[in-house]
Amino acid sequence: MRLHRLEVTAFGPFADPVTVDFDALSDAGLFLLSGPTGAGKSSILDAVCFALYGDVPGDRAVAKRLRSDHAAPGVAPRVVLEATLSGRRFRIDRSPAWTRAKKRGTGTTTEQARVVISERRPGGPGEPTAEWHPLSTRLDETGHLVTRLVGMTLPQFCQVALLPQGRFQAFLRARSDERHALLQQVFQTGRFDRTERWLRERRVELRRTSESHRGAVADLVSRTSEVAGDVPPEDWSSDPDLLPGWVTGLADAAATASSEQTVLVEAAVAAEVRAADASAAGTELAGLRATYAAARRARDELAAGAEEHASRRRRADEAQRAGAVRPLHDLAVRSRAEVDALERRAADSHDALGSLLGEPTLDERAVAEHHRTATRALTDIARVRPLLRQADDIDRQHDRVLRAREQTGVEVDRIEARVAEIPLALAELEPALAQARAAAATAEEVERDLGQLRVRVHAARTAETLAARVAAASEELRAATDARLLARETLVEIRERRLDGMAAEIAAKLAVGASCPVCGSHDHPRPASPAQGAPDEAAEREARREVDDLEVVVEAHAQQVRGLEQQLATARAESGDSLRGLLAEEAAARARLDEVRALAATTAPLAGRVASLEEEQARLTERRAALIATAAQQDAEAAGLAARVAALREQVDAVVAGGTDLDALAAHHQQVESLAQEHQRLTTELARARTTATSTQEAADEVAIARGFTSSSVAASSWLAEPELDALQQAIEQHEREVARVGDLLADDALVRAAASEPPDLEALARAHHHAKEALATARQAEVALRDRERRLRALQGSLTAALDAWRPVLTDLDLVGDLSALVEGKHPDNRHQMRLSAYVLAHRLSQVVEAANLRLSSMSDQRYSLVHTGQRGAGETRGGLSLLVRDDWTGDSRDPATLSGGETFVVSLALALGLADVITDEAGGADLDTLFVDEGFGSLDAETLEDVMDTLDTLRDGGRVVGVVSHVPELQTRIPTQLRVHRRRTGSRTTLTLA
Examine residue 81 and state whether it is found in any structural domain, yes or no.
yes
Whether 418 and 538 map to the same domain: the answer is yes
> Taking Cα atoms as reference points, which of 694, 716, 695 lies closest to residue 704?
716
Q: What angle do CA 574, 575, 580 make, to 5 degrees?
A: 170
Examine residue 293 and state whether it is found in any structural domain, yes or no.
no
| pLDDT the model gives residue 819 | 84
Average pLDDT (840-862) is 80
> Taking Cα atoms as reference points, which of 788, 787, 791, 783 lies closest to residue 269?
783
Average pLDDT (638-644) is 80
Whether 530 and 508 map to the same domain: the answer is yes
| pLDDT the model gives residue 169 | 66
pLDDT band, residue 18 (cuts 50/70/90): very high
CATH value at residue 124: 3.40.50.300
Whether 580 and 506 map to the same domain: the answer is yes
| pLDDT the model gives residue 94 | 93
Whether 518 and 378 map to the same domain: the answer is yes
Examine residue 372 and state whether it is found in any structural domain, yes or no.
yes
Whether 584 and 684 map to the same domain: the answer is no
| pLDDT the model gives residue 534 | 74
pLDDT band, residue 413 (cuts 50/70/90): confident
Whether 342 and 412 map to the same domain: the answer is no
List, for residues 81-90, the tens digit of each pLDDT value: 999 988 889 9
List, for residues 653-700, the tens digit of each pLDDT value: 666 655 556 666 667 667 777 777 776 777 777 778 778 777 877 777
β-pair type (883-888, 865-870): antiparallel
List, for residues 188-227, the tens digit of each pLDDT value: 677 777 888 888 888 888 888 888 888 888 888 888 888 8
| pLDDT the model gives residue 377 | 67
| pLDDT the model gives residue 90 | 93
Which of 580, 603, 626 marks a domain boundary? 603
Average pLDDT (285-291) is 79
Structural domain including 684 reads 326-362+661-717
Q: How far apart are CA 38 and CA 854, in angstroms?
A: 34
pLDDT band, residue 41 (cuts 50/70/90): confident
Average pLDDT (745-764) is 79
End-to-end CA distance of the chain: 24
Q: Is the pLDDT of residue 594 over 70?
A: yes
| pLDDT the model gives residue 873 | 62
Alpha helix stretches (DSSP H) within 38-98: 41-53, 60-63
Is the separation of the CB atoms in 882 and 846 below 8 Å? yes
| pLDDT the model gives residue 489 | 83
Q: Which residues contact 51 (CB under 8 A, 6 or more apart)?
A: 6, 79, 80, 81, 92, 94
Examine residue 910 and state whether it is found in any structural domain, yes or no.
no
Whether 357 and 370 map to the same domain: the answer is no
Whether 404 and 337 map to the same domain: the answer is no
Three-state SS at 323: coil
Q: How far apart are CA 31 and CA 447, in angstroms?
A: 60
Average pLDDT (252-277) is 84
Q: How far apart are CA 449 and CA 586, in angstroms?
A: 9
CA distances from 269 to 264, 620, 770 (A): 9, 119, 13
Mean pLDDT lowest among 120-134, 158-172, 358-372 = 158-172
List, for residues 774-826, the tens digit of each pLDDT value: 888 888 888 888 888 888 888 888 888 888 888 888 888 888 888 888 887 77
Average pLDDT (380-394) is 72
| pLDDT the model gives residue 926 | 47
Q: Is the pLDDT of residue 520 over 70?
A: no
Q: What letter represents residue 898's amino acid? A: A
Average pLDDT (349-355) is 70
| pLDDT the model gives residue 81 | 94
Highest mean pLDDT of the ranges 466-470, 495-499, 553-557, 876-880: 466-470
| pLDDT the model gives residue 661 | 62
Q: How far apart are CA 272 and CA 268, in angstroms?
A: 6
pLDDT band, residue 749 (cuts 50/70/90): confident
Whether 538 and 463 map to the same domain: the answer is yes
Which of 717, 752, 781 marks a domain boundary? 717
| pLDDT the model gives residue 80 | 95
Whether 387 and 335 map to the same domain: the answer is no
Is the separation of the CB atoms in 374 and 669 below 8 Å? yes
Which of 562, 586, 603 marks a domain boundary? 603
The dihedral built from the CA positions of residue 315, 316, 317 and 321, taken in this order, carries a sign that is positive
Examine residue 53 and state whether it is found in any structural domain, yes or no.
yes
Q: Is the pLDDT of residue 924 over 50?
A: yes
List, for residues 56-78, the tens digit of each pLDDT value: 876 665 556 788 888 888 889 99
Average pLDDT (338-344) is 77
pLDDT band, residue 513 (cuts 50/70/90): low
Average pLDDT (339-360) is 72
For residues 559-574, one letter each, b for 16 or more C-beta atoms within 10 angstroms of the residue's C-beta and e for the rest, the string is ebbeebbebbeebbee
Examine residue 455 and state whether it is found in any structural domain, yes or no.
yes
Furthest CA-CA distance within the chain: 194
Examine residue 283 and state whether it is found in any structural domain, yes or no.
no
Whether 352 and 431 map to the same domain: the answer is no
Count of residues making up the chain: 996
Examine residue 476 and state whether it is found in any structural domain, yes or no.
yes
Q: Is the pLDDT of residue 342 over 60?
A: yes
Is the separation of the CB atoms in 864 and 888 below 8 Å? yes
Whether 485 and 530 map to the same domain: the answer is yes
Q: How many domains does the chain have?
A: 3
